[in-house]
Amino acid sequence: MAEDDIELLKKRFSELAARADRTGALTRTRFLNAAEQSLLLSLRLPACVHLTGGYDGAERRAAVFGEGEPEELEAAAELVCLRVSPKSARFSEELGHRDYLGAALARGITRELVGDVIVTEACAYFICMEPAASVLEEGLCEVRRTAVKCERCALPAETAPEGEERSIVVASARLDALVAAVWKLPREEAKALCERGLVFVDSRLAAKGGASVPEGANISVRGHGRFKYLGLERETKKGKLRVKVSLPAPARS
């Protein structure tokens, strides 16, 4: 992000947190990407921060400032789930994440109003905010050349990315070692990704490749994807570590 954008975001976060602290009412942002979430979590603010993307493991999330029960905090984000599905499965094309998202943005919606788009074999689920939900309900009639229908729904639990568990061998549980092993990169390249500010651990910027990674941490690498570190399985006979990670299933990306 440009320096001016960073300062504007800091100011906006501070204003929302101060308002929540002053009035006792919950305030929220629109959807934040990984870098914006990291910036937010690096600040000392007068109000508590709750991040939500509509389901566990969401990548794009909104921030809610203030205190309340989990249900109140989730409701304050005002997230809507939309199911977008072909009107006729028989005549449907094979549609992917870019197809669905591109069709939505072509309706004039800004990206900050749309969170994750979860694609299944039969349809796509959009997590979005109210202004975008209304536009899509009324105007999203086609994705590529496939006629679609768009309706509000609850996000079925089975559509949330469960992840594909994988066992890998690493020299250590350092961040750069895990990133290198997951995407089969040279260790120095993985380290460089960290130093360039492209790696995030639990939505926080991780600039040091040598950082240890806690069990259960979500790791996101720009240009590559994300995975979850599930922890150590055992030590190999050669003194290396066999660890488990979980990657999003390809159909849900």
Topology classification of domain 164-252: 3.10.290
CATH 3.30.1370.160 in the chain is located at 3-76
CATH 3.10.290.10 in the chain is located at 164-252
The answer to whether residues 171 and 240 touch, using CB atoms and an 8 Å cutoff, is yes
Helices (H) then strands (E): counts for the chain: 7, 14
pLDDT of residue 253: 35
Q: Which two tokens stand for residue 74?
A: 């989730």
- For 3-76, which CATH class? alpha beta
CATH 3.30.70.330 in the chain is located at 79-159
Q: How far apart are CA 241 and CA 236, in angstroms?
A: 6
Residues of the chain falling short of pLDDT 50: 251-253
Largest Cα–Cα distance in the chain? 61
For domain 79-159, the CATH architecture is 2-Layer Sandwich (3.30)
Question: CB under 8 Å, gap of 24 or more: what pairs does 190-196 form?
Answer: 193/221, 193/222, 193/224
Q: How is the beta sheet containing 114-119 ordered, strand by strand?
A: 114-119, 124-129, 79-86, 146-152, 142-143
pLDDT of residue 142: 95
Nearest partner of 32 among 131, 116, 158, 151, judged by Cα:
116
pLDDT of residue 1: 72
pLDDT of residue 3: 86
- The single-letter DSSP state of residue 60 is S
Bridge partners for 221 per DSSP: 199, 225
Residues 6+ apart with CB under 8 A from 122: 85, 89
On the CB side of 200, CA atoms within 13 Å amount to 22
Q: How far apart are CA 140 and CA 104, in angstroms?
A: 7
Which phi-psi region, left, alpha or beta, contains residue 54 (left: φ > 0; alpha: ψ -120 to 50)?
left
Model pTM score: 0.79
